[in-house]
Every structure is written in structure tokens, then in C-alpha cells.
Structure 1
């Protein structure tokens, strides 16, 4: 077989081997781009280019994209680096937990906010040894607030459940000196607690007390859909035609809808009724049945926001458990607000 022999005047070396043989050393290379050869860049020029690029990245990260003036930068690592540097350059803003003076006094259990405003106006409140009459004053964490020589501190939150008996009105004070629900819970705690919502004088059942104003407002408001179940005893049988009208979703009283969630007729005489609703309107249950011509002889709130009267005799109170508090705050939407 005939061997291939190179022609005269031509090398037998392959183009790749020839390139590797004639390849210049690394330091002899010149960087090339699509625009042709590039000259070596000095350190000052490199620093200037970095500064320009960083400025470009800053603009891209912190201002909207404008066509024709800015080009987006896709170097994510650079963007993150410059963003971090910018955050470090910004002065840290310290969050202060300041509280309005009237709210601070109320939270300390002295009185309500309205009454606190009076104390401030009368010059009875001292802050750091000086009398303060400014209504909008905000108490700083290190301030010493005094009333009648006593140092005020924020109270811990207390939650008490009462099984209310007949003959007590739901109010903190009564000018006519009638019996109030506050007399039933006076030994529950040293903190100043208030009833959440209200029950009529002749209405019995569950009533909640607390010094947590935000919680009380949320639970009492109809938007929280706080469950309330009542046992009702009427003076006569509840007619079926009246039952149909009451079950109608469009049924309403003179002041608007009743927000009824459930209705049950108990017993053959149809005098005992269970009704579930979440309305907080005054005397709502009594007014419902009075609109049909009935008289409510017994009205007892048996369930309040999932809480029951189990092991809680009439006229007695108890503290809410941790699990009950979690359930209540979830139902009222307070824990969702905090997560947000």
C-alpha cells in the first residue's frame, strides 16, 4: 500500500499543532472584543469604570426603568452587593415604643382615657418629676410617670369569664346605686377590667371582662362574627308562620338586619327556643320576639365565642385558659393582624 508523503515545500504539521507551537505566552495576549483590540487599562481607569457600573446598578435597583436613558443590569450578584452597601450607608432608624399619655394612664389601670385627659389638664400627672399638661405628650420607654406620688406601670392583660345572674346591670358605675356586674368580679384581679359588650339586667349567662382594649373592641364588633347562642323561653307557643318569617334571610328590625346564624324550636309546646347570632345590637333577642307579639320570660346566653358555662355556676367567674385565648384571638382576627 502506498504511503502518503508530504509534498515538497509544505509542512506535515497539523494546523492545531502549528497554532499551539506558535502560540504566544499568556502575558503577550491582548484582550479582544467585538470592537477590536483593547489596550491595557490602568488602575485609575478600572476604578472609574467600577464606579460607573455601580452607579448604573444603583439606578437600576432604586429607580424605574426609563427607555432611552437607562439599560437594565442583569448582574444579580452585583445588584445584591450594591444594594447591601447602600443599606449600610443609610443611618439606622431606631423604632421607639412611645405611647400617648392618656393611653399610658389608662393601661396602668388608673381610669379611662377620657378621665385621664382630665387628670392631665388638672396637672395631676408628673413625668420625670415635672408636671405635664400637654394632651398629645408621648411617653418614652425610660420616662417615669407618676400620679399622686405613685409610679405608674403598664398592666398585664387579664381575661375573666362570668356566668351572670339576674338583677345585675352591665356597667362599671351606676348613679342609682343598683347592683352591677363589677361587684361580682371585684376580687378577680388588681387590674382595672371592663365588660366586653353587655347583657340586660334580667338576662343571664356568659359575659367576658378584660383590660385589653383592642381585644374587647374586636370581639364586640359584628365584623368579627363572634358566636353568641341564647336559650329563650317565651310566654306562649312560637307559631310556625312566625318561625318561617324569622328564618327568612331578609328578615330585619327597624334598625336593620339581625345577622341570625341558627334557630331551633325545643319541646312540644314550642315555648323554648335556641337562637344563634353575632349581632351586638342592644336588646336584640328580646326585640326580635317582641316584634311578633311575644314576651321573653327567660333569656340566657349559653355560648360566647366558643366558650361555654361548663363547670361555671351562676354568679361565679373564672380566668380564661391559654388555649381559649388562642382560640378567641384567632376568631377575632387579632393573630392574623400581627402576622401581617
Structure 2
């Protein structure tokens, strides 16, 4: 992680205070002064403030939140309140959201201060599946039981060409729940991807709800949060 972030995570310093100490040459990494706040450091480095003991970063935190509608995937309020208003914890400025949701989208939100972990959650090359419940404007024709609209399923599986994109979307899995409700499983996270995918096939998304990321399933009421279990944390491959 960045040196200034490490200092904040191992002390009570603000980001501004940490940067001032680094720029003043007061921070030693493996015995040498480092004056760049953005310098990358690792947990096995010996980092200390001049004249002080070795610093140890606080343990990383991994959180699940059931995001309500009309909230922002942001650390600060804007046109809508930030989701961090639902989390009563210290040092929330150290936390970030792993895979933001639009203000009107509900469901599973993952929050952490472990940048390597969150990078792998939504990096498409690691094929971590995300499951969304999608409510559509128009009914999809066909029976609800049995094989439904095989052509549409095949189009999502083969990949769609979205406006302004050079590459097709990665293979996606479509499951039908009712004429206006489907489950969509994707392994990437392009800008407004679900809305653009259904627009490409002549439909429109009325509402979106994320139910699952990898093996991590949403299991709590709206607005509630909890720490992830060790099993859930480890279910995200780290490369």
C-alpha cells in the first residue's frame, strides 16, 4: 500500500499529518528515509517514525452491507446520503468500496481497506461472478417453465456489442424468474453494464439488486452490515 496510507493505518495520524512527516524525512523504511507519500510499502517492510518503534498496521477489515436505494457508493454525502452513514466504525476514511453500485441500485456492497483483495473482486480476468436480480420494463415472451427464449440466453452467453465499446461483453448467464424478472450473472463491471445490455436487446431495466459476489451471498435486511467471515474473505482468490 502507499506509505501515507500505511502511516494512517498504523497510527492516529490524518492523511495530511502523515504526508507532512514523510515529506520532512521523518519516516524510515528499512532504515532509510523515504520522502514520497505514494511510495509503495509491504507488510514485511520495517517502517518506523524517526526515533520511534516499528509500526504495525491495523488488521484489514472486510464488510458486507445491504445497500438501500437512493444512497451513494461513496465515502461522503452528495445528492444522496453516503452508505457509510449506516456503518458505525472508527477510521472509516481508510475504507473503500469494492465494486460501486449506482444510487438507485440495491443489494450486496463489499467494503474493505485491503486494496489487493478488492482489486481481485472486480478484476474481470479473475472471473469472479456477480449475480444481479434484474426487473425489466417489458415482458420477455415465452413460457416461464422449461427452456425460455434460448436465443436471448445465447446472445448474453456469446457477448453483446455495446455502443462505444470495442470488445464484446464477456459471457453472461441469464436465468428467467418471471416475464419481467431475471437473474443475470456477469464477471465484469463496465459502466452501467446491465442497463446497456438489456437496452441492446430492446428492453429496459426498471430496478437492479445485487445478490451475490463470488461465493459471498447477501443475508441481511436492508441497511444492515456485518463483518465477512474468514471463509467468505478467503473465497476471493488472491493472485
**Normalising to structure 2: TM-score of the pair?**
0.76
Partner of 1:316: 224
For the pair 1:157 / 2:60, whether they are aligned, the reply is: yes
Partner of 2:160: 251
SS at match of 2:184: strand
Please say which of residues 293-302 and 203-212 is displaced more in the overlay.
Answer: 293-302
Distance 1:219 1:145 in 2: 37
Name which structure has the greater RCO, CA cutoff 8 Å, separation 6+. Answer: 2
Partner of 1:16: none
Partner of 2:182: 273
Change (3 A) 1:138 1:201: closer
Shift of 1:222: 0.8
For the pair 1:235 / 2:137, whether they are aligned, the reply is: yes
> Does the 8 Å CA contact 2:159/2:169 hold for their aligned counterparts?
no
Change (3 A) 1:111 1:264: farther
Distance 2:76 2:9 in 1: 19
Change (3 A) 1:250 1:290: closer
Shift of 1:196: 0.4
Partner of 2:171: 260
SS at match of 1:102: helix
Partner of 2:146: none
SS at match of 1:208: strand
Shift of 1:230: 0.6
Of the three residues 218, 221, 234, the one matched with 1:326 is 234
> How many residues are paired up?
218
Change (3 A) 1:210 1:326: same
Richer in helix (by share): 1
For the pair 1:144 / 2:73, whether they are aligned, the reply is: no
Distance 1:242 1:111 in 2: 55
Shift of 1:171: 1.4
Partner of 1:295: 204
Distance 1:177 1:263 in 2: 33
Deviations 1:184-203 (A, max 9, x none): 22x14546211101100000
Shift of 1:183: 1.5
Q: CA RMSD, aligned part only? A: 3.3
Of the three residues 134, 137, 140, the one matched with 2:35 is 134
Partner of 1:86: none
